[in-house]
Amino acid sequence: MYQEYGAKGFEVVQISFRENPDLVRRTVQERGYVAPVLLDERGDLTGRVYGVWGPGTKYFVDRKGRVVGRHVGPNDWNTPAGRAFIQALLETDSKP
């Protein structure tokens, strides 16, 4: 979805939270992830700046930089409902 919706302004930043950076790099390469990864080995930055204290937290930010949603835990965004949500978010405030 990152590659598919990227031309429409969809951005994804993966945050590695309290993980060994070498393990993260290997995992990213093995799984073929293409979205950028922020390495936060100690978890300080992620918690202090973004308020994330556990893995699996997704924040949805509109084009004006406002947090408009949050989801904790796994979710398959490649479903009709997930795609509709992302499409609706992209169509909201369509001008940066």
Q: Tell me, what DSSP letter sits at residue 18?
A: S
Q: Give per-residue pLDDT as tens, 20-41.
A: 999 999 999 999 989 899 888 8
What are all long-range contacts of 22-25, with beta carbons under 8 Å and residues at least 24 apart?
none
Which pLDDT belongs to residue 73? Answer: 83
Which pLDDT belongs to residue 92? Answer: 79
Ordered mean pLDDT values, 10 residues apiece, the chain (96 residues): 87 86 94 90 79 76 83 87 89 63
Which pLDDT belongs to residue 27? Answer: 94
DSSP class per residue in 40-80 = ESSSHHIIIII---SSSEEEEE-TTS-EEEEEES---TTSH
The pTM (predicted TM-score) of the whole model is: 0.70
